[in-house]
Chains A and B, each alone.
Chain A
Amino acid sequence: MKVFLAVFLALLVTGCAAPVTKSDFSAFQAAKPRSILVVPAVNKSLDVDAPNYLLTTLSVPLAEKGFYVFPVHTTRTVLEQEGLYEGDAIHQQPPQALASLFGADAVLYVTINRWDAQYALITTTVTVNFDYRLVAKDGTELWKANKQMQYAPQTQNTGHPLGNLIAAAVSAALTRADPNYLPLAVMANDQVFNIGPTAIPVGPYRVVN
């Protein structure tokens, strides 16, 4: 009976652990991409600079993962020469066409859902939210994920209610004046590619120690 109970408990425990669903990487493993083309993002935020800024954060994590990542600035320039300036127009191109134009094994599409600072009375919350989608050169979807990162400045306790209020208001005003999205974007990319169920398999240049 004791053993039975122990087994039952063990089942319960592992039963709790199991539901963390891991993404299905069979298509990814079958395609074995060596190179990834990162194209400018579709921008659903109001910040017109967001796609350019985001573009600068994607090469490092993917290359460190072991893939050849096409030069993002060159990619953007070539696409502009093709008359493709906006993420919307670029994402509408068949992935096969983009992949063959650059000789890439896979194309990474990112959509910026949020890149904003929300202002309440005495707090400002900075949020980024991205949809990522990796598609093979034959059009097969290899992986997709969504990531949101957020931060709200926490103010130190001054030990005085009015002091706290003023400190919070000052902090919120400063964040509002110049919200810094880049560290959030870097963290979102790092987490989505490297941590938890969305972490992608390593590429051919990754030396496994």
Chain B
Amino acid sequence: MKPMFRTMLAAAALLAMTGCASQQGMYDWGGYSGLLYQNYKKPETVAANMVKLQEHVAVMEQRKAKVAPGLYADLGTMYLQAGDRDRAVDNYRKERAAWPESAGLMDSMIKSLAGKPAVEAKS
């Protein structure tokens, strides 16, 4: 019985979401919420989720479609947490360019990364 409920509930949730999406969905999220959820639920999937998000934004760029709010920035933070500062900064810059509301936060993220030496100094 359970799988059926699950399916029904998932279908209802999907309807609720795509119900909005078909009428008013503005963005292609590329499974962003689900990827974040997996990050928190199964930390061993973080690297794979980061790749998926990267692929999604690459597709969006290819299509010249607007990348949804926060995607570049959270991808940047995933890179940062994986130790890749250059890609982190690169994505923070893209978020800032796409969404002017993010400027204050992105500037301080970029600045704090630029200010740090390449090898983490022992505090």
State in angstroms the CA–CA spacing of A74 and B109 once bound together.
Answer: 10
CB-CB under 8 A for A49 and B26, given A34-B101, A153-B1: no
Contact with B along A44-68 (1 / 0, CB 8 A): 0000010011011101110110111
Closest to A167 in B: B1
Of the listed stretches A8-16, A113-121, A175-183, name the one at the interface; the rest are far from the partner chain: A175-183
Q: What are 28 residue pairs bridging A and B, where the CB atoms are less than 8 Å apart in the complex?
A: A56-B34, A56-B37, A59-B70, A60-B32, A60-B33, A64-B20, A67-B69, A68-B69, A68-B101, A68-B102, A69-B70, A70-B105, A72-B36, A73-B39, A74-B73, A103-B103, A103-B105, A151-B9, A153-B2, A167-B1, A171-B1, A175-B5, A180-B6, A180-B9, A182-B37, A183-B9, A187-B16, A207-B26
CB-CB under 8 A for A64 and B25, given A53-B41, A69-B70: yes
Of the listed stretches B57-65, B74-82, B114-122, name the one at the interface; the rest are far from the partner chain: B74-82
- In the bound complex, residues from chain A placing their C-beta under 8 Å from that of B76 are 74
- In the bound complex, residues from chain A placing their C-beta under 8 Å from that of B73 are 70-71, 74
B17 proximal to A (CB < 8 A): yes
B47 proximal to A (CB < 8 A): no
Q: How far in angstroms is the closest Cβ of chain A from B45? A: 13
Q: How far in angstroms is the closest Cβ of chain B from A46? A: 17
User: Which range holds the interface residue count of chain A?
Assistant: 35 or more
Contact with A along B17-47 (1 / 0, CB 8 A): 1001100111101001110110111000000
Q: How far in angstroms is the closest Cβ of chain B from A177? A: 9
Closest to A151 in B: B9
- In the bound complex, residues from chain B placing their C-beta under 8 Å from that of A69 are 69-70
Q: How far in angstroms is the closest Cβ of chain A from B122? A: 17
Residues B71-121 near A (CB distance < 8 A): 71, 73-74, 76-78, 80-81, 95, 99, 101-105, 109
B51 proximal to A (CB < 8 A): no
State in angstroms the CA–CA spacing of A174 and B4 once bound together.
Answer: 12
State in angstroms the CA–CA spacing of A64 and B21 once bound together.
Answer: 8
B13 proximal to A (CB < 8 A): yes
A190 proximal to B (CB < 8 A): yes
CB-CB under 8 A for A74 and B37, given A68-B102, A175-B2, A190-B17: no
CB-CB under 8 A for A35 and B101, given A56-B36, A72-B74: yes
A156 proximal to B (CB < 8 A): yes
Assess whether A74 is in contact with B13, with CB atoms less than 8 Å apart. no
A77 proximal to B (CB < 8 A): yes
Q: How far in angstroms is the closest Cβ of chain A from B51? A: 16
CB-CB under 8 A for A68 and B99, given A60-B29, A183-B12: yes
State in angstroms the CA–CA spacing of A207 and B16 once bound together.
Answer: 20
Q: How far in angstroms is the closest Cβ of chain B from A118? A: 16
Closest to A68 in B: B101
State in angstroms the CA–CA spacing of A72 and B6 once bound together.
Answer: 27
